Chain A
C-alpha cells in the first residue's frame, strides 16, 4: 500500500512459478558443480577415459543451464518479488544489502569459474582444471548459504525483531537447518541431472556404470539427508514459533504426528499447504524409488523419457517443498515484522525505530488505509463520520462504501487474492452477508503468547493464532473501512443489496454475526441441516460448548443476551425444518471454506 498495486490475475502463483523454476535450477547448479569435480577426479584417478568423456560432454549442458537459466531466473525472482511485494523486497534489500553484495561476489566468481571450466577442458592442465571446478562449486555453495540465510530470516527472524541487527537476522533459528536441507536437495538434484545426461549415452556399459554410481553415491545419500534435514528444519521453525503443526493439521510438530496428519483425512490445517506437503513428500518418495529402481533394473536400457519423468518428479517435489515453506510463513512475509499484504507491526519496545510508522497496524487502524496510501482512489464523498455522509440516501451511501471497499480489497487483499481468478474471493464469499463477512474479517490472525494467551503484535515472542488454520493477516484499517470491505465482498458474492438491509431481530443479527460465515444458507455446512428435534434450551446449551461439539468451532464470543436471542432464533428456525432433514451435527464438513 506504500506502493501501487500491480493488478494481475495470480500474483502468488507468478512468484511461485518463477521461484520454483529458479530453485530447481540453482540447487541443481550447486550439486552439479560438486558432481563435475568429483566425477572428473574419479575418472582421472582411474584413467577411465570413457567416463571422463561423459563428464566433459555433460559439463557443457550443465554450464549452459546454470549460466543462462540459473542466473537469469534468479534475476527473474528478484524482479517478480519487487513487483508483487515491493515493501518486503525493500525491507530485505535495506537490511541485507551487504549479504546480497557478498552473494554477488560469489555469484560473479561462480559464473567466471563455470565459463573457465567449460572452456578449459583442452587448455588447462588437469590439476588447474579441477581447481577451477572446486572454485565453481565452493562459490556456488557459499552463494546458497547466503540466500538460505535470507530465506530463513523471512521464516524465523530471530532476535532481529528487537535489535534490527544484521547478524541477529542472518544467523536466525532456521538458518543452519535450511542450509543443510538445501545442500541435501542440491546433491539429490545433481544425481537426477547425471541420470538425465547419461540417458543420452549410446554406450550401454558406460550408461549402467554412471547410473549405478549416481544411484549409490548421490541419490541414496540425498534420500537419507533430505528427510533428516527437513525434520530438523520443521523442528527449528516450530521452536521459533512458526505454526508448523497447526498449518499442516497435526497435533504436534513431532515427525510422526506431522507425517500421520499429512495423509489423514482430517479437516484441519491449511488445505493448500497440506496439499503441497503431500505432493512434496509423495513425489520425493516416488522419485527415490523410481531412480533406484531404474539404476537397479534398467541401468543399461533406460532412455530420455524415463529420465525426463524423473526430472519432472524432481521439479514437482521441490515445488511442493517451496510452497510449504511459503505457506508456513503466512500471515507474515517477514516473520514478526511485516504481514504478507505489506502491513507492518509496530516495533517492540526498545527496538530502534525512526518514529511512528504510518503503515504499521496500529497507525492504519487509527488513520485508515485509504487515507494513508497515496495510491488509493477513493470517491470524494466517502467521508465516514461526517454528518453529511451519514445523511446521504442509504443506496447512495452504501454504493460509496462498496466503491471504497473495492480499494480496500486492492490494498489489503490483492497480494494473495483476486476477485475471480487465482484464489478468487467471489466463490468464497458467495451468499455471505455483511455481518458474516465482518465476522470473518474479525477472525483473521490474532497475536498470542507461546502459551496461547492474548498478546500484542509488538511482543518480540509473539505467536499467531488463526481461525481453522487459515493464515490471513489481521485487518488493518478503520471500522468504516472494514465495513466497506465487507459490503464490497458481499456484493461480489452476489448480494446486490448488501449493506442496505439489516437482519430482522437480535437473534438473526447474532446468527449473522457469529454463525453464518460457516453456517449461512449457501455455505458448506448450512445450519438448517443441523436443527431438527432441538429446542431453545438445547441450542443455548450447545452454544456454550461449541469446541466440544466440533473442535474446529471457536467458542461463542457474543454476550449472554446474544446467546439467549440466538438460541431462540435457532429454535424458531428448527420448527420450519422439514422432517427428513439431516440432524447429524458431527458429520464431517468439506474443506472448501475461506
Chain B
C-alpha cells in the first residue's frame, strides 16, 4: 500500500537534524549497553540458577549474588537512558513513532507495568534474595521473562515504524491498539538478534568482572572469564548467522543498497560483520590462552566497535527504508541556542556530579574492603 506518514508540525525543529541525530545515536548506544546488561544478564542468571552441573556451582552462586546487587542499578541506568532515546526519537521520527505506537497502543503501554514488575523483582532479588530461597528461581525467571517481553514489544514497535506502507492497512484492520507485527519478515530475526546480542554483551561483562576481581578471588575470576568468554563467543557466532538472516529479510530496495548500492551503508555493514566475526574468533582462541586478561580486553574493544557499527547500521537501515517511503525531516530549523547551551552545561554538570558521587561510593567501598 501507499506509505502514509503524518505531516510535520507547523513548528521549527529546535536544532539542526544532524545534532539531534548525533545525540540520538549517542544515547541509544549507552541505552543499548545498559539494556543488554539487564536483559542478557537476566537470561544468563537464569542459566546460572537452573544449571545442575556441579562444576562451578559455588562460582555461579557468587556471580548470582553480584548480579542481583547490580541489577537494580543497571535497570535504573537502562530506564534513564531509555528516556533520552525516547525524547530524541520523538523529535526526529515522532511522526512514525507515534503512529506505530498507536497501532499497538495497549501493548506499547504494557511496557510500563512490565518494567515496573521487573524492576520490583530486581529489588526483591537484591535485598531479599536469601530470604526467598528456592523462590528466587521463580522471581529470576519472571524478571527475565518480563524483560524479554519488553524487548518483544520494543521490536514490534521498531519494525512497524519502518513500514509506513503498512500503517493504513493495520489501522483499517483494527484501531483498538492491539496490532502486532509478526508478519513482517524482519521481525523474528530482529528479535532473536536482540536477545542473542544481549546475552553476548552480558557474558563479556561477566568475563570483564572476572578480570577486575582476579586479585580478590582468583578462582572465581578464572571461572567467570572462561565461562563469560565461552558464552560470548558462542552467542556472537550465532548472532552473526542470525544477523545474516535479518539482512536477507530486509525489503529488496534496502537489501540492494546494503549489498553495494549505497557505499556508506555497505561499509558500515561490512565493518559490523568483520568486527563481530573477529570478536567471536578471538573469544574461541582466548579459551586456549594461558593469560586470558589481554584477550578479554581485546574482545571488549572489538565488542565496543561492533556495537557502534550496529547502532549506525540500524540507523542506516532506517534511513534507507524511510527514504523509499518519502520521509524527510522538515526543512524549517530555528536553533534554540540558549536552552541548548543550558542543556550542554547541565549535562556536563550532571556527568561530573554522578562521577563524584560514584567515586565517593566506590572509594568508600574500597576502604571498607581493605
Q: Which residues from chain A sit less than 8 Å from chain B, CB to CB? A: 2-8, 60, 64, 67-69, 71-76, 78-80, 82-83, 86-87, 89-91, 93-95, 97-102, 104-109, 111-113, 115-116, 119-120, 122-125, 128, 132, 135, 164, 166-167, 344, 347, 352-355, 357-360, 374-375, 377
Most B CB contacts (10 A, CB to CB) among A83, A91, A124 go to: A83
**Cβ-defined contact, A98 with B364, below 8 A:** no
How far does the alpha carbon of A455 sit from the alpha carbon of B87 in the complex, in Å?
37
Find chain A residues with CB under 8 A from B339 CB: 98-99, 102, 166
**Cβ-defined contact, A6 with B83, below 8 A:** no
> Does B263 lie at the interface of the complex (its beta carbon under 8 Å from any beta carbon of A)?
no
Find chain B residues with CB under 8 A from A375 CB: 4, 168, 171
**Cβ-defined contact, A112 with B90, below 8 A:** no
The 6 closest A-B pairs by CB, nearest first: A98-B339, A123-B364, A86-B98, A76-B112, A105-B350, A105-B346
> Does B299 lie at the interface of the complex (its beta carbon under 8 Å from any beta carbon of A)?
no
**Cβ-defined contact, B357 with A7, below 8 A:** no
> Does B358 lie at the interface of the complex (its beta carbon under 8 Å from any beta carbon of A)?
yes
**Cβ-defined contact, A94 with B354, below 8 A:** no
> Does B51 lie at the interface of the complex (its beta carbon under 8 Å from any beta carbon of A)?
no
**Cβ-defined contact, B353 with A102, below 8 A:** no
Whole-angstrom distance between the Cβ of A412 and the nearest chain B Cβ: 15
Given known A64-B123, A357-B10, contact A166–B338 (CB-CB < 8 A): yes
Of B72-80, B244-252, B278-286, B317-325, the one with at least 4 CB within 8 A of chain A = B72-80
**Cβ-defined contact, B108 with A83, below 8 A:** yes
Chain B, residue nearest A414 (CB): B175
**Cβ-defined contact, A75 with B86, below 8 A:** yes
> Does B183 lie at the interface of the complex (its beta carbon under 8 Å from any beta carbon of A)?
no
**Cβ-defined contact, B172 with A6, below 8 A:** no
Instruction: Name B87-101 residues within 8 Å CB distance of A.
Output: 87-88, 90-91, 94-95, 98-99, 101
How far does the alpha carbon of A69 sit from the alpha carbon of B76 in the complex, in Å?
11
> Does B332 lie at the interface of the complex (its beta carbon under 8 Å from any beta carbon of A)?
yes
Whole-angstrom distance between the Cβ of B97 and the nearest chain A Cβ: 8
Most A CB contacts (10 A, CB to CB) among B20, B72, B103 go to: B72
Find chain A residues with CB under 8 A from B336 CB: 98, 166
Name B12's contact: one of A71, A74, A109, A352 (CB within 8 Å). Answer: A352
Chain B, residue nearest A86 (CB): B98
Give the interface size bracket for B toward A. 35 or more
How far does the alpha carbon of A108 sit from the alpha carbon of B306 in the complex, in Å?
27
**Cβ-defined contact, B109 with A135, below 8 A:** no
**Cβ-defined contact, B123 with A166, below 8 A:** no
How far does the alpha carbon of A125 sit from the alpha carbon of B123 in the complex, in Å?
25
Find chain A residues with CB under 8 A from B76 CB: 67, 71, 111, 115
How far does the alpha carbon of A120 sit from the alpha carbon of B4 in the complex, in Å?
52
How far does the alpha carbon of A78 sit from the alpha carbon of B350 in the complex, in Å?
23
**Cβ-defined contact, A120 with B7, below 8 A:** no
Q: Which residues from chain B sit less than 8 Å from chain A, CB to CB? A: 4, 6-7, 9-15, 20, 23, 72-73, 76, 79-80, 82-84, 86-88, 90-91, 94-95, 98-99, 101-103, 105-106, 108-109, 111-112, 115-116, 119-120, 123, 127, 167-168, 171-172, 175-177, 330, 332, 334, 336, 338-340, 342-343, 346-347, 349-350, 353-354, 357-358, 360-361, 364-365, 368
Find chain B residues with CB under 8 A from A354 CB: 10, 12, 330, 332
Whole-angstrom distance between the Cβ of B264 and the nearest chain A Cβ: 27
Find chain A residues with CB under 8 A from B86 CB: 75, 78
**Cβ-defined contact, A353 with B101, below 8 A:** no
How far does the alpha carbon of A153 sit from the alpha carbon of B40 in the complex, in Å?
42
**Cβ-defined contact, B6 with A3, below 8 A:** yes
Find chain A residues with CB under 8 A from B361 CB: 116, 119-120, 123-124
Given known A93-B87, A123-B361, A164-B12, contact A3–B98 (CB-CB < 8 A): yes
Name A120's contact: one of B9, B10, B167, B364 (CB within 8 Å). Answer: B364
Show 24 residue pairs from A and B whose CB-CB distance is below 8 angstroms, ordered by the A residue. Answer: A2-B7, A4-B99, A8-B176, A67-B72, A71-B76, A72-B119, A74-B83, A75-B86, A79-B109, A83-B98, A83-B108, A86-B102, A87-B9, A90-B95, A97-B14, A101-B87, A104-B83, A108-B80, A109-B349, A109-B354, A113-B357, A164-B11, A166-B338, A374-B4
Find chain B residues with CB under 8 A from A6 CB: 102, 105, 175-177
How far does the alpha carbon of A167 sit from the alpha carbon of B116 in the complex, in Å?
35
How far does the alpha carbon of A90 sit from the alpha carbon of B365 in the complex, in Å?
45
How far does the alpha carbon of A4 sit from the alpha carbon of B82 in the complex, in Å?
25
Given known A97-B15, A104-B84, A116-B357, contact A83–B343 (CB-CB < 8 A): no
Find chain A residues with CB under 8 A from B168 CB: 374-375
A104-B83, A164-B334, A166-B14 are known; give 8 further A-B pairs, CB within 8 A: A79-B112, A86-B6, A89-B94, A98-B336, A98-B340, A105-B350, A106-B346, A357-B10
**Cβ-defined contact, A94 with B102, below 8 A:** no
**Cβ-defined contact, A82 with B101, below 8 A:** yes
Find chain B residues with CB under 8 A from A353 CB: 10
**Cβ-defined contact, B357 with A112, below 8 A:** yes
**Cβ-defined contact, A79 with B111, below 8 A:** yes
Given known A64-B123, A116-B358, A116-B360, contact A3–B84 (CB-CB < 8 A): no
**Cβ-defined contact, A82 with B90, below 8 A:** yes
